[in-house]
Amino acid sequence: MIFGNSAQVNKTRAWKKLVKHYKKMRDVEMRGLFRKDPQRAERYNINLDAMMLDYSKNRITDRTMAYLIALAKTCKLPEKIEAMFRGDKINHTEKRAVLHVALRNRENTPIMVDGRNVMPEVNAVLAKMRKFSEAVRLGKFTGHTGKKLVNIVNIGIGGSDLGPKMAVEALRKYWSKDINCYFISNIDGTACSEVLNKLNPEETLFIICSKTFTTIETLTNARTCRKWLVDALGEHAVAKHFVAVSTNAEEVAKFGIDTENMFEFWDFVGGRYSMWSAIGLIIAIAVGMDNFEKMLDGAHEMDMHFKYTELQKNIPVVLGLLSVWYTNFFNFRSLAIIPYDQYLHYLPAHLQQLIMESNGKFVSTQDEYVRYCTSPVVFGGAGTDVQHSFFQLIHQGTSVIPCDIIVPAISHNEVGDHHEILLANALAQGEALMKGKTVKEAYDEMRRAGKSKEEAKRLKKYKSFSGNRPSNTILFKKIDPFALGMLVAMYEHKTFVEGVIWDIDSFDQMGVELGKQMALSLLPELQNQASSISHDSSTENLVSVIKRLRK
């Protein structure tokens, strides 16, 4: 099996070549690169079915890409891609396979884990999802009083919330007309109360998403929803209004859920990669299983592209290597993801978890502390809104922040000139980030606009833009289920590429554990129970102040 690299990546010859190359590239202007090469946009783009990646607005040359590809090969990226698809236990800290690709293996080729083909189990769950989602949509599976279940509430946290919520919203145009979707994740009681206040218990179905059925936030919210339902309809209503996505049949049954309505998923699927599994049940109910499977089809298309395409023309590979180039050589430590599609406004939040939970690590697969940055800080939002929030920093801030600009050529809502204006803004941002505006250009522009020499001279620096700021444009025909599947799978594989180069395990999430452990130790004290665990003086003082305020 292939786990770590033979040496930390920053000690390799390939890395050192990139260090030297960076010194030649750090002051290169993209404006000049475009002037010298009229075919640049054609050479630095990749087409795949209904999507295109334009990565020409980056501080790269052919030599840059050759050096980055050499680095990928030094880190055995092709072999590690094969290892993932083969079912090797590449999540080496937890000794697990990483097979979200099996969930969308539309060719149904055997994928082996510990000597068994997992595809029959995957297909069985998909069939069960189809049967149940259609029964709910058609009103054949009804609530306790016989009413159709039209309010679907997903109770989960992390990957059991962010992925399904993003996908459901992204595909809102495909919802069944009488279905409404809600999500409860935060342990803050407000999150639960605000959803329940909108609902009629007779028409509400709850989906509890917890692999172990012990996640404190999810189970606390679930019990509150259970009490709300029982107070309205009685204890016997639970089995008709709750289903579970879990592996813990005993606890599911104790809750009152019919285990026939329990949907399984597996250890080889991490939470942030789980929307393709039964965790996506709310997606299937909202948009129909046919559309859910079209989303799987799109993801599978990207899987096959990632698995079989040469590195130079491989979209996730190129994006991952560009991320390494900026993160580790230019020290650009952030990434902005900007979808110019209102339905994708939850996408940056989902990708925050995918990227930062996967690659926010400081120990390599060789059990050594790494001495280089292993993940950018990811943020974003829907264009054009974000042009009026953080784009000031992106254009004129002292930190350079690479951007991914996601653009659909066709809107689901072609209203007047709205989409043309949206497209114009999306394309203009990439061009403005690359070109900028020199002090002289700013001065001349103001003079042409009638400003006095004195006023133009006073404002010319304020009106200038440094430019030379990188961006990728990811263009789709339309954000339909197939395109959404491609898009999310692309980022999953890009994240894997980064992790391979940085030689970290992208598939555990041990960094989320410590705070939760400490919360459990503090809970008894906040509940006025004795605790044998001592805390620092700041924490102890905060506990006493909170208890006093709550009295």
Give the residue numbers marked as catalytic: 357, 388, 516
SS3 at position 471: strand
Q: What is the largest distance, in Å, between two alpha-carbon atoms of the chain?
A: 81
Sheet with strand 204-209: strands edge to edge: 180-184, 151-155, 204-209, 242-245, 262-263
The residue whose two tokens read 């590239």 is 25
- Give the C-alpha separation, 127 to 280, whole Å: 13
Q: Rounded to whole angstroms, how far apart are CA atoms 68 and 328? A: 12
CB distance 133 to 261 below 8 Å: no
Alpha helices in 309-417 (DSSP H): 315-324, 347-352, 358-359, 391-396
Q: Which residues pair with 209 in a beta bridge?
A: 245
Residues with Cβ within 8 Å of residue 291, at least 6 apart in sequence? 171, 174, 481
Query: Which residues are within 8 A (CB) of 451 and not within 5 positions of it... i.e. 6 or more apart?
Result: 459
The CA-to-CA distance between both ends of the chain, in Å, stands at 58
What are the DSSP calls for 440-464, one per residue?
HHHHHHHHHTT--HHHHHHHTTTT-
44, two tokens: 């630095």
